[in-house]
Structure 1
């Protein structure tokens, strides 16, 4: 049995009781740490809570060599842990399909997701979000164009865009970096983005949420990671009221 278990948004206290019970009875516990991480804790604190040793998985382990844990799941209970909710990531959807093709039974224990947390923190209505996108760091002379294409399309449809910010080993994209990149891309396409909404440390005791144009957000100290960004469409009256009340719009 392979069980995908979401750990929630910020630290070890976010896990559900169901998830904790399943981990404690699993024979092998793996922690995937590249699609997202819990910045409010560390592996030692997780192991102390679980009473189990953790085996860490990086991108190469999950995408190219999943046999490491899939083979174990044929004959033993294996817990595959992720920050947030496991099936928000297409990587994990693919992994579950692979497991099924090998005849491995699977199950999911969900955790709090940034997808729903952003709606609660910003007041932006969940049914008004269009396609989301990921914004990676530039590599050499290469810079992505897909994010601004997605944003432009959503804005034309009056939809909000959730922009996932790049996570690399020891490096986390900030709201300020993301806004700077998007402003440059938008200028090249003749596009104006009037409002951004930045969120930092969702699920923590002190998240930061701030809304405004690029110049306004320059003066906001978002603090430690993880950060995420929303580019909203035209705001509904209640959405604007919420952002004015809780995000300084």
Structure 2
């Protein structure tokens, strides 16, 4: 949590942290949306930790007891933003209001603390198309912001 302070958002304004999982064709959970919506309702920022898949096995290899692992996969900010937009579309199709939209500004962070760290401030739609490079990535959905926070975020504008 402290590391993401490098983007300029005040740590005391963060609500609950969520984990965004990688979707598959068969499994697309949306449970983290409710915490994001609650944080936004309260005016709090949401730190979204993005999924990593290491030491994953296929079901067949697990069942056969083979210690063969799939290549490591790391979720990107663009993938997380796309998933969040899909959830919003689904909610709107059910007649619900969404806690954010494609114009909601978000912060993408990659490799925080490394020499080649990258921070980008962009709309959710723009973030869904931005390549942040190598992992690890995190995404922040800001809540209510102080003018000083906005000034700092603008330095990272896409």
TM-score tier (shorter) = 0.7 to 0.9
What's the TM-score, normalizing by structure 2?
Answer: 0.79
- Corresponding residue for 1:116? 2
Q: Any gaps of 5 or more consecutive residues in structure 2?
A: 55-71, 92-96
| Count, aligned residues | 133
Whole-angstrom CA distance in 2 between matches of 1:172 and 1:213 = 22
Residue-by-residue CA offset, 1:56-96 (whole Å, 9 max, x unaligned) = xxxxxxxxxxxxxxxxxxxxxxxxxxxxxxxxxxxxxxxxx
Aligned to 2:35: 150
Distance in structure 2 (CA, Å) of the matches to 1:199 and 1:125: 15
**Higher mean displacement: 135-144 or 165-174:** 135-144
- Is 2:104 the counterpart of 1:202? no
From the CA coordinates, give the structure whose radius of gyration is larger. Answer: 1
Match of residue 60 from structure 2: none
2:78 aligned with 1:168, yes or no? no
Greater relative contact order, per chain length (Cα 8 Å cut-off, separation 6+): 2
> Partners of 1:144 and 1:231 in 2: how far apart?
19
Report what 1:37 is aligned to.
none
Taking the aligned partners of 1:139 and 1:164, their CA distance within structure 2 comes to 18
TM-score after normalising by structure 1: 0.51
Query: Do the aligned partners of 1:135 and 1:144 also contact (CA within 8 Å) in 2?
Result: no
Secondary structure of residue in 2 paired with 1:151: helix
Spell out, residue by residue over 1:153-189, the C-alpha distance to the aligned partner (whole angstroms, 9 max, x if none).
1000000111110000210000000000011112222
- Off by >3 Å, runs of 4+ in structure 1: none
Equivalent residue, structure 1, for 2:90: 188
Match of 2:144 in 1: 234
Q: How far apart, CA to CA, are the structure 2 residues paired with 1:195 and 1:211? A: 7
The two structures, once aligned, show a CA RMSD in angstroms of 1.4
- Structure 1 gap segments, 5+ residues each: 1-114
